[in-house]
Every structure is written in structure tokens, then in C-alpha cells.
Structure 1
Amino acid sequence: MARSSHKEPQSLDPSDTAGLENATQLALTAFCWWRADIPRQVCEDYWRDVHGIMFARVPGMWQCRQLRLAANRSDLWPAVRGVSFDAADAAQPQGMGHALFVSEADLVAFGNNPIARETIPNDAHNFIGRIGALLSSPNSGRTLVDRICDPAMQGHPAVPTFVLGFVPRAGAASVKAFHRYLTEQVAHPWSRHPDVVRLRVEPLPPYDRSAMSSPGVPLQWPNDETYLGWIELAVRNESVAGDLLAGVHADEFASQVGAVHAYPIREIYTIISAGRPTEVGLRGYPAVQTIIATGADYQRSEGILNLLYGDAVRGLDQIRRQA
């Protein structure tokens, strides 16, 4: 059952990214490591323009984004005794998929579609070398602030943006206590900083095995430093990250957190936004860029998209109208 504070999706402001994201109950996070025998650019382009557009053909998702990650930035942080900011090269994911579902019924509808059940999993081995996907507990993730107001972002973020992966302290308190600490003592105070322009916190369950099964793709995590939560952080400048960590109680932080890994988000591609496929989700990014460059605006009209892609254009609306 949805939070009582949630608004109905159809009543939301389409430019209110936080409101759109907080209308959902469930989140799926997929950490991805690309195949080592294929150039990274080929893997990323395949992910966006071949694999990604298949998600846009399946109703059920409310939001689907692809985050292209750079190497861990340990230099962002001031030293905290007992906390590591280094990550082994082989353990660092190169991409992260993030999907939101308004309800469990929508997740089930998505998973029962033959494209999601068979075609997408069977395609993953073409570019993914390893995957670790986790489905968060209902109503646990939250976008606490978003001043960017671009729910269908495509390309390079306008400000420094990071995925922060939090490894719990070995032998620390319960998963529930860690999630509470990450949300209430880290994410909420950080979100109130005037130079934080976007912050979403996503508590994760302990990693047992991937929530997404992809034949031919290993599901084991590369090492034992699995994440029990992550934060998406966008700031006006990189120095803000250090200020945020300097503001936490160091001993308490070290008692809960064993490591923090900061992956700069190089590019974001939104495949589905507010329950409907984006143009990038329907056509692929190169086609959209070419249409924009030539000024062929009629190619972006609702009428043309309906003619070319039929029911896929309606996305989640297909489920709502059939209910």
C-alpha cells in the first residue's frame, strides 16, 4: 500500500522531479560491470540504444535511468579514522541502472511481460560482464531535494553529481539501524545544505544474489564490500562533498560506516519518465540528437510517435486503462 502522503501520479507537476520520484513505492538498483573484451563505449552505447529501448516497450516502470559512472574519487573526502574511501579497481561498477515502480502491481505487470521476462535478461550478456541488482524494501528510498527540475535528463549533468556507495562497518548494528542512520543522520542533514541541489537516498537490502537473473552473466559481487545503501548527490561544486562529511559526528559515522565510494556520474540517460517512454527510450539517443540538429520538430510530435510506436508510447497508461 502506498504512503498516505503520496499524491496520485496523474496529479503531479511534470517538472517536480522529487514529487514524481516520491510517488513510487519500489526501487530497483542494478550495479553493472561491462565486458572486458569489448570497448567501454560500445558497451555503454549498446546499453542505452539497444538494451535500454527494450525497457521502454514494457509497461509498468514509472522511471528508468542509466547512470554512467567514472572511477571512485577518494580525494573528495577529509580523513575519518576507521573509514576507507578507496575501492579496488575490479570492484568499481561502470554503470548503474535505477528504476522506480509506483506499486507492487506495476512491478508484477512489468515482470510478467515476455520482453522483461525473457528478451531483456537474455540480451544482457552482450555487453554486461557482471551484474548485481537489488530491490529495495517498499517506501524506503526518497528524493529529499531536487532543484534541477529535469525529470527526463539526457547527457552530462549540469553540476558535479555522484553515486555514493556506503559499505557498513563489519559487526555494526542491524540493517534496519544502518538504514535509519544513513537516512536520518546523513541524508536528511546533507539535503539541507544550500549547495546541495539534488539528493536521493536509497537503502539497500544485504546482497545475497542479483534480483535480476541474466543467463551467462555472473551475479557474484566482485568482493565482500557490498553496499547497504547509496546516495545520489548533486552539488554546486566538488568542495561541498568534503564540507558535508566534515559536518557529521566522526565517531558515530565510523561506528556505522566502513567505507564510502564516490563514483562521479559522467552521463545520465532517462529511458522512462513519469510512466511513459522518453524520446531517447523510444528512438535511441543518436536519433534524437540528429532530429534536434536538423530541426525536424514534427518528428517529435505525439502524433508521429504514436504512429511509429503505437501502444509503447503510452507506457504505464496501458496498465491503468486496462485495470
Structure 2
Amino acid sequence: MSTPDYSARDRNVRHNVYASVRKRDGLPHDLFANYWRDVHSTLCSRIPGLGFYVQQHFDRNHTANLWPVADGVNRITAVLDGSAELGFANLQDQALFGETGPILYSDEQNLFSEAIAYFLPTGSTTFVDREEDGIRNGPDRLHRVHVYMNRRAGPDPSKWLEDISSDLATKSAVQKWKLHLPSPYDNANPAPPSPNVDHHVGADRLNLAVAEVAFENARAARAFFDGGDFQKMLHGQAKHIDALGAYLVTGIYTFVRDGVPTAAGLRGSRPAELIDIVGAANQLAPEILERFAPTHARAPQRIAA
């Protein structure tokens, strides 16, 4: 019996932004992570127009054996602490978000040394997603990596990435495969326009593609890498990719789904975790949610494909 595929729930996101972030120098990691999860997130979740918002936190100390690198491909060594994905149902919603965005950007100097926003005007592609929980808030249950790949010039690398993603996502070991193919980044037009935050990247991240790939555990990932299908892909890697780096995800925090803030988006990630742990269902009743966000008074729903 096959495992259900929930990738269809991402189809409401037609336009999105993928942002990589590094914590502010000198800020303790726990303080950074908690502020990002509980303070910055709740501000972002309340900005009109936002249809989807998730943070994925990285382990900057675990970088070995996460993804094979072919001979002739350089390594991306940028130190990163996570990614944020912001999605929109249409361009009008994205423009509405942009009008209020400056109040969010001004907060970024409190927690980020670097923030780089990559724009995906036609959205990303989720090839497979076998996680039933579409509003995950907490430690990652899977072995998940974000594979950063700097594409060589021309259209062929993007087509190659789409083809190999479509093929490898069908393999039973793969629990999720999502591909981001943003427009090339332009250092002359820093994004997002946050004050006192670095928005400049080196040549190894200007034409970036990102694959979010998840396995049941690290052992399953290593066995997948040793298989013939992956090895075939590895042989073509150097032709299309000039630099690659992989980042291990430690936690996933979903704040907005289908235009509705989740409990984490309304209250903060850690309070939402406490509500789940205690079993305080009353905290998600409409009359209580109304106190936190009058315009979003219905409880977040778990959406099946």
C-alpha cells in the first residue's frame, strides 16, 4: 500500500520568495532562534497578503555527509542558520504584502547579519510530500536537507534539475522533494531592503537553485546516495552545477497556510508547542483566537491533499 502524497496542498502558492538567513554576529544561537520563532514570526504572519510562511532552521555545526559532491564542483561554504519561505496566491497579494513589508524589514537588524531573498515569480514545485502534517511546528521528524546548487549559465541546468527532481522524487526512500528555481540574484538591487543587514552574495550563490529533500533518517539517505539512480544524477552534476552546499534542517515552523495564520503564527511557535503538549484545545477556540487576531478568527485546519 502506497503512502499518501500531500504535495497538492502547495498548489495555492503561485508566487513565492525563498530567503536564506544567518544570525546576527554575537547573538547567542538560542536567543536568535527564539526571537525568529516567537517575535519576528508573529509580526510577519500579520502582514496582509501573505498566503504561506514557514521557517526551516539549520544546524550550522553539522555539514558532513549530507549530499555527495561530484568532482569538478566547488563547495558552497556560506554559514547559514535557516531559510524562510513566503508564498502568495497571486501578484496582487504579493504587492499588498510589499506595501507593509518595511515594518518587517526594519526588525531584521535585530536578528540577522545576512538575509538574501530569492524571487520565484512562477512559484516552486513540490514533486512529492509524504508528511501528513502540513502545519508542522517543532523539531523535524525527518532527515531533511536543503541542497544549494549554483547553476551554470544557460537554460539547460534548470531543465536538468527539473528532470532529475521529477525522476528521483518517485523513489520510495524520498519523503519530500521540493525544488526552488529562483531568478538570478542581483547584488545591485539588495533584497530584502533591510537596514544594517548584509544582502550581498558571492558568485557561488548568484544563480542559486535549492532542493528540499527529506528521508526517514540519515541511514536511508546514505543508501539512496549509493543507489544507481542517484549515481546517474551525480555523473551529470558537474555539467550543470558549479558549486554546491547542503544544510541540515533541525526544525520546521509553519506560521501561515492558505492565507490563515496557524496557532504558531498567532501566538508564537513555543506557545503553540505548549498548547499541543498540554492538550489545551480550548486555546484554539474561535472566541479565544479572536482575541489575538480579529480578522483571522477561525482555527487553522490540517489540510489533506
Whether these two folds match at TM > 0.5 is yes
Decide whether the 8 Å contact of 1:59 with 1:312 is kept in 2: no
Structure 1: tracts of 5 or more residues without a match: 1-14, 316-323
Alignment partner, residue 179 of structure 1: 158
CA distance in 1, matches of 2:274, 2:182: 38
Say yes or no: does 1:142 pair with 2:125: yes
The percentage of counterpart residues that share the same residue type is 24
Change (3 A) 1:278 1:308: same
Deviation at 1:240, TM superposition (A): 4.4
Alignment partner, residue 228 of structure 1: 208
Deviation at 1:16, TM superposition (A): 7.0
CA distance in 2, matches of 1:190, 1:161: 15
1:50 to 39, 44, 48: 39
Q: One-letter code of the match for 2:231? A: A
Structure 2: tracts of 5 or more residues without a match: 300-305
Decide whether the 8 Å contact of 2:39 with 2:268 is kept in 1: yes
Say yes or no: does 1:203 pair with 2:181: yes
Change (3 A) 1:215 1:314: farther
Alignment partner, residue 291 of structure 2: 307
Deviation at 1:208, TM superposition (A): 0.9
Decide whether the 8 Å contact of 1:153 with 1:269 is kept in 2: yes
Alignment partner, residue 93 of structure 1: 80
Q: One-letter code of the match for 1:224? A: A
Please give the residue correspondences for 1:1-323 in structure 2 after superposition, counting only pairs within 5 Å.
Answer: 17-71=6-60, 73-78=63-68, 80-84=70-74, 86-88=75-77, 91-113=78-100, 116=101, 118-139=102-123, 141-168=124-151, 172-174=152-154, 176-184=155-163, 186-209=164-187, 210-221=190-201, 223-226=202-205, 227-236=207-216, 237-242=220-225, 243=227, 245-248=230-233, 250=235, 252-313=236-297
Relative to the length of structure 1, the TM-score reads 0.82
**Deviation digits for residues 3-47 of structure 1, max 9, x if unmatched?**
xxxxxxxxxxxx974212122211101110111111011111111
State the secondary structure of the residue aligned to 2:204.
coil
State the secondary structure of the residue aligned to 1:254.
helix
Relative to the length of structure 2, the TM-score reads 0.87
**Deviation digits for residues 223-282 of structure 1, max 9, x if unmatched?**
3210521011011222145135313161x3211112221111100100101210000110
Decide whether the 8 Å contact of 1:32 with 1:128 is kept in 2: yes
CA distance in 2, matches of 1:41, 1:241: 33
Change (3 A) 1:240 1:75: same
Decide whether the 8 Å contact of 1:60 with 1:106 is kept in 2: yes
State the secondary structure of the residue aligned to 1:44.
helix
Deviation at 1:79, TM superposition (A): 5.5
State the secondary structure of the residue aligned to 1:288.
helix
Change (3 A) 1:310 1:182: same
Decide whether the 8 Å contact of 2:182 with 2:208 is kept in 1: yes
State the secondary structure of the residue aligned to 1:311.
coil
Q: Note the aligned Cα RMSD (angstroms).
A: 2.1
Change (3 A) 1:87 1:74: farther
Q: Which moved more, 1:64-73 or 1:226-235?
A: 64-73
CA distance in 2, matches of 1:103, 1:296: 35
Q: How many residues in Structure 1 have an aligned counterpart in Structure 2?
A: 287
Q: Which moved more, 1:208-217 or 1:93-102?
A: 208-217
Q: One-letter code of the match for 2:150? A: V
Deviation at 1:218, TM superposition (A): 1.5
CA distance in 2, matches of 1:241, 1:59: 42
Q: One-letter code of the match for 2:121? A: S
Q: One-letter code of the match for 2:45? A: A
Deviation at 1:313, TM superposition (A): 4.1
